[in-house]
Amino acid sequence: MNRYLPVARQHFLAALASTSVVVKSISAVVVLLYLLSWAVDTPYALGVTPGYLFPPNFWVWTLVTHGVVEQHVWGVVANVGIVMACGRLLEPLWGALELLIFFAVVNISAGLLAGLSYLLTYVATFDLDYLFAVRAYGAAGFLGGVLVALKQTMGDTTVLRVPQVRLKAAPALVLLLLALLRLAGLLDSSAPLAAYSYGALSGWVYLRFYQRHSRGRGDMSDHFAFASFFPEALQPAVGLLAGLVHSALVKVKVCRKMVKRYDVGAPSSITISLPGTDPQDAERRRQLALKALNERLKRVEDQSAWPSMDDEEDDDDDEVRTDTQPLLPGGRDPSSTPRPAAGGPVGGSLSSTSSSSMSQSSGGPSTGGAQHPESSIISFEDAPSRS
């Protein structure tokens, strides 16, 4: 174990050095507040306490600081790891400023909604523990928002092979895991579960309706609908309920209405963008098709790289047949063609038997009586001596 610690430390420092100033700053604040927790009760002073968040106390700074407060080493590692994962996966797509805005929106919304839910629980039960004994802090809220963002950008990525689990199912699975841990008594409080739930919800609302990018605002694609976070059997009922809630929020001006968009500035024709046909959805499908095409081409290259033994045997047979065939008609080898004698005269004449071949083709008798196959071959003969 000790020999792996220097390697892990080296990789961690290398990954941290390649991140932006935003990621480094958040990580440094998490570490500093953890060191400060040895002397000060940071969850009490910087975490969200429902009884102190609302008037008359109004500790509003805790909405900003509760997401970077940790009391244990594993909490620090998880918090810094989540922030660095955002720097590696989301920051190249969004930019450092957008990542900082997302971090602030998710943490503030999760802390506010968690404190409000505990306040309403106190109103229903009159139990003061829900106001002053609860401390909401840590990276649970931001983790929920990050998993929702990863579902939007790379939801079809496979996380586990056996059983096959894709990244788009991670938000629901982590929520189920936290609920089971709370029911089993392994979590001291339900604050992490509440913070995670509200962090995921606030992250989805921000990315769905309010995030600004080059294509406009929000993401109205079908694969990022609220019903897509639930199993397929529950998606119709959840979609109907989500539609009713969205209609109510549109009336109170909290969410914007999904409308048709017409791009009249297109050079060729009018481009109509309807809900469910968002450019992000089209880009996602294009990436999936490109990935499938690359995998298919790779399989074809692997198969063509190793020819079969039958093809090699056929090639050998063709070479043998080529070697055994005579090069000249009549079955003679060109090496056996007669050559003039070395002592013959120098001024030899080239005689052709084309006239005999023409007479044979026209049906006339040949001069030699018997037809030889080499009659159509140009040969060298000794020229007759002149008297």
Question: 224-262: per-residue pLDDT in tens?
Answer: 899 999 888 888 999 999 889 888 888 887 776 765 454
pLDDT score for 274: 47
pLDDT recorded at residue 83: 93
Mean pLDDT of 131-149: 94
Q: Which domains does the chain have, with CATH numbers?
A: 3-231 (1.20.1540.10)
pLDDT of 163 higher than 80: no
Lowest mean pLDDT segment, chosen from 2-16, 122-136, 154-168, 185-199: 2-16
Question: Which residue is it, tokens 């244990």?
Answer: 72
**Mean pLDDT in residue range 136-155:** 93
- 311/325 Cα distance (integer angstroms): 22
CB 110 within 8 A of CB 202: yes
Mean predicted confidence (pLDDT) in 177-184 = 93
Q: For residue 336, count other CB atoms closer than 10 A to its CB.
A: 7
Q: Which two tokens stand for residue 103?
A: 């971090």
Higher pLDDT, 295 or 25: 25
Q: What is the rounded average pLDDT for all residues in the chain?
A: 77
Here the tokens at position 79 are 């918090």
pLDDT for 32 equals 95
Give just the sign of the alpha carbon dihedral 149, 104, 205, 77: positive
Average pLDDT over residues 175-197: 93
Cβ atoms of residues 54 and 115 within 8 Å: yes
Which pLDDT tens digit goes with each residue over 4-50?
667 777 777 777 777 889 999 999 999 999 999 999 999 999 999 99
Q: What is the pLDDT of residue 160?
A: 78
More confident site: 87 or 158:
87
Q: What is the pLDDT of residue 356?
A: 43
Q: What is the reported pTM?
A: 0.67
Q: Please, are residues 270 and 262 in contact by the beta-carbon 8 Å criterion?
A: yes
Whole-number Å distance between alpha carbons of 29 and 80: 10
Beta strands at 158-160 and 271-273: parallel, antiparallel or unpaired: unpaired
